[in-house]
Amino acid sequence: MSQHRSSGNQRMVRDVLFVDGVRTPFGRAGEKGIYAGMRADDLVVKCIRELMRRNPALPAERIDEVAVAATTQTGDQGLTIGRTAALLAGLPRTVPGFAIDRMCAGAMTAVTTTASGIGFGAYDVVIAGGVEHMGNHPMGAGADPNPRFVSERLVDPAALNMGNTAENLHDRFPHITKDRTDAYAVSSQNKLAAAYGNGQIQPDLVPVATMKPGQGWTVNTVDEPPRPGTTAEDLAALRTPFRAHGRVTAGNAAGLNDGATAALLASSDAAAELGLPVKMRLVSYAYAGVEPEVMGIGPVPSTEKALANAGLDIGDIGLFEINEAFAVQVLSFLDHFGIADDDPRVNRYGGAIAVGHPLASSGVRLMNQLARQFQEDHSVRYGITAMCVGLGMGATVIWENPHHAEYSAVTTPTAVSIPTAGAAA
């Protein structure tokens, strides 16, 4: 076992490694979707079992925590899903678990929360991920917003609908036109289709068998939402459901989807001890709040904070995995940092507009794709996973490529000074 000691005003801080990540194929929410009639917790179980199967060197009893995110924590997504999923997956009963919610950034928060525990010395190895079965749990179903939001004008009521916040972002940045967002959406579809054609998506997918009455069993091995061959002309004809003559459509936004993800994280010394592979090293992370009415701008301040925490500049980032909740949200991020719409560093495999966005699960999908790109491109040292978050937040995690010539991870914990009681800040 790794040794964690603190003495006086010092604590040993350890590097946190992304060992592996998997996900189910994403499905379309609703009665016709591939996961209609299936339980959300069973989707998570598939991911946990696949992580254990792919990493036979890891004894199940060495897992210290299971954190699973869900935005709607009721029914098959309730009952402390991290713990129930661990039990259902056959992990030892000594392995604890918990549930977490930061809406779209749920899985990302599950990763950073447990990663902090690894760095602090509370954990050696964890599983973190998320699930959203939007067919079983439509977005916002059962929610009861406090009336003070409206009566005290704390938040514009329209901000509780994410599509409206995307239209507001168009208002704030009128140079981001509908034609531009449609063009970006077409590019996302094309890049995902190319990634599938190159076999870059399939390695991280967990096959899921489903049963439909009258149809029998189907083994689902690919994502359901993509629409390869989509053209700008196709998107131009779509209606704008959030505002008359608006700019946000079903074509330039992520859909309503079902799916689950899970990642395996470990300290650098535990990974070395157990012979676990290393796909990425966590460098820095940050969350930020913004006006809920323009929720999509959230990744801008969170990225600025994460870069400052790491002592890096945007120019140091060689790959970006940005969740495409809405095309306008990604484009506002790119414009802020002076990055072109078609920059080859951005979403090389396409994004959520094409592949889907099952809310709380998506953070680990971004990490899976970044890790795969690190493996392919050893010239890149740092990459970012980032996303906007409902109710006005942003989330960003910076990762380092272990294949880069200057990779800086060490297996020896680092001593850092911490303030003693009563010390000045």
> Contact at 8 Å (CB) between 269 and 14?
yes
- CA 322 from chain centre, in angstroms, equals 9
Segment 52-88, tens digit of pLDDT: 999 999 999 999 999 999 999 999 999 999 999 999 9
> Contact at 8 Å (CB) between 226 and 193?
yes
End-to-end alpha carbon distance in the chain: 34
Tokens of 306: 């994460």
Arch. (CATH architecture) of 6-137+155-400: 3-Layer(aba) Sandwich (3.40)
- The 10 Å Cβ neighbour count of residue 67 is 32
Segment 218-276, tens digit of pLDDT: 999 999 999 999 999 999 999 999 999 999 999 999 999 999 999 999 999 999 999 99
Which of the following is catalytic: 47, 133, 137, 388? 388
CA dihedral 276, 279, 283, 284 (to 10 degrees): -100
Specify the amino acid at residue 73.
Q
- The pLDDT score that the predictor gives to residue 416 is 54
Band of residue 213 on the pLDDT scale cut at 50, 70, 90 = confident
Q: Give the separation between CA 365 and CA 257, rounded to whole angstroms.
A: 13
47 in active site: no
333: pLDDT strictly greater than 70: yes
CA dihedral 390, 396, 397, 399 (to 10 degrees): 140
Domain chopping of the chain, boundaries? 6-137+155-400
Which of the following is catalytic: 104, 133, 137, 170? 104
Task: Give me the half-sphere count of Cα atoms (radius 13 Å) on the Cβ side of residue 25.
Answer: 20
> Contact at 8 Å (CB) between 258 and 133?
yes
Phi/psi at 372 (5° precision): -65, -40
Please tell me whether residue 27 adopts helix, strand or coil conformation.
Answer: strand
**10-13 vs 6-7, strand pairing mode:** antiparallel
388 in active site: yes
- Least Cα distance to 182 among 267, 94, 249, 108 occurs for 249
104 in active site: yes
Long-range contacts of 404-407 (CB under 8 A, 24+ apart): 404/378, 404/379, 404/380, 405/378, 406/381, 407/281, 407/381
| Helix (H), strand (E) counts: the chain | 12, 15
Segment 388-425, tens digit of pLDDT: 999 999 999 999 999 999 998 665 666 555 454 444 43
